[in-house]
């Protein structure tokens, strides 16, 4: 039986800011750009009590929390702290799969210290993070990645939960389907329409029915409802895509302005492609409108997309498909995926690729 730990730093960016500035401790803060188009990157737990959360506009966050303090991001600092957290992980195992700057999976089935219980390892890691970095982390322990990740979210902040194989199905039975990995707003709406609200109801659905309704995700949900997840912890992650997005200071609607901003986004994408060395064949356009609705459009070619002469015409083609005359545009993003060496489809999150924002 595998022993998997999922570690998730608590309100990471905000906690680092409160640690480094004692005047911010105990106060509601949000990390992000304090401007008309600023977005909350991370909110402290004091701010979350007022309903402030990541990806919320700074303007709305200020309305919800009148005493909210906005703190500029210090990405280099967060990166350095993350490296120190990973150094603690490496005392126990080299099989580490980072999910982002503030969370990771660890396979401790065979660990460097010969500790029998994964729960004890998770407890030691949490204590080391607290003692050495003055930060807290939440940990989930189980026999697969799906359950370990859910467990780490269950008792935040500073939580530790172990889901034992003998109790996994009972735990899953009461788990709301929105807490299942891969269930976003659209999938959740569909599940509710067909009468699935928790893990027990999901497990009652046949594989055939779930596949008919959810396609390739159907077998994944079928297995998750049974506590099955065979994915290994991978200490090398293959880059699936490279992308960028830009939020405008003011919404744009004129065709000429859209084309100009699209051109600048293409140039930024080319810079990131050149820096990463990524070679992909699928171009994806993401648009966020002034009402915060999103659309994505993709096109796959036989060419490796590394040149402006190839990417710009495709980007314009996708923009024409998007019917931009209907609404003003708040954000434009572009991404290249479908890597030449793996030929795998990009990782989708409810129909959208994850992009990295740029100024």
Contact 225, 203 (CB under 8 A): yes
Candidates 17, 46, 97, 103; catalytic one: 103
What whole-number distance in Å separates Cα of residue 163 and Cα of residue 148? 7
Give CA separation, 94 vs 70, 105, 106, 146, 200, in Å: 37, 11, 8, 20, 36
What whole-number distance in Å separates Cα of residue 7 and Cα of residue 88? 11
What whole-number distance in Å separates Cα of residue 7 and Cα of residue 37? 32
Strand-strand pairing, 137-142 and 160-162:
parallel
Tokens of 267: 């140039």
Residues 6+ apart with CB under 8 A from 337: 240, 241, 243, 280, 282, 284, 345, 346, 353
Say how many residues make up the chain: 359
Active site residue 356: no
Tokens of 350: 């409810």
What residues act catalytically? 103
């Amino acid at each position: 039986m595998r022993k998997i730990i999922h570690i998730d730093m608590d309100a990471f960016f905000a906690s680092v800011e409160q640690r480094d500035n004692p005047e911010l401790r105990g106060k509601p803060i949000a990390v992000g750009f304090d401007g008309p188009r600023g977005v909350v990157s991370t909110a402290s737990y004091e701010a979350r009590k007022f309903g402030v959360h990541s990806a919320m506009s700074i303007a709305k966050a200020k309305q919800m929390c009148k005493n909210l303090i906005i703190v500029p991001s210090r990405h280099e600092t967060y990166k350095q702290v993350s490296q120190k957290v990973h150094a603690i992980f490496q005392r126990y195992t080299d099989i580490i799969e980072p999910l982002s700057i503030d969370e990771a999976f660890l396979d401790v089935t065979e660990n460097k210290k010969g500790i029998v219980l994964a729960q004890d390892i998770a407890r030691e890691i949490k204590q080391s993070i607290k003692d050495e970095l003055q930060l807290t982390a939440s940990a989930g322990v189980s026999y697969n990645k799906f359950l370990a990740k859910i467990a780490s979210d269950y008792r935040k902040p500073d939580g530790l939960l172990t889901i034992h194989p003998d109790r996994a199905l009972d735990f899953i039975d009461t788990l709301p389907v929105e807490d299942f990995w891969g269930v976003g707003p659209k999938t959740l709406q569909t599940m509710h329409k067909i009468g699935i609200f928790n893990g027990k109801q999901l497990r009652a659905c046949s594989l055939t029915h779930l596949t008919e309704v959810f396609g390739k995700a159907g077998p994944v949900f079928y297995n998750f409802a049974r506590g099955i997840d065979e994915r290994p912890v991978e200490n090398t992650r293959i880059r699936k895509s490279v992308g960028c997005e830009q939020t405008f200071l003011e919404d744009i609607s004129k065709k000429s302005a859209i084309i100009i901003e699209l051109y600048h986004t293409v140039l930024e994408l080319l810079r990131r492609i050149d820096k990463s060395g990524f070679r992909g064949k699928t171009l994806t356009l993401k648009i966020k409108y002034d009402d915060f609705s999103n659309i994505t459009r993709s096109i796959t070619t036989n060419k490796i997309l590394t040149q402006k002469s190839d990417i710009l015409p495709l980007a314009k083609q996708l923009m024409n498909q998007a019917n931009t005359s209907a609404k003003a545009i708040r954000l434009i993003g572009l991404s290249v995926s479908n890597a030449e060496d793996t030929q795998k489809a990009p990782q989708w999150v409810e129909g959208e690729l994850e992009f990295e924002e740029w100024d």
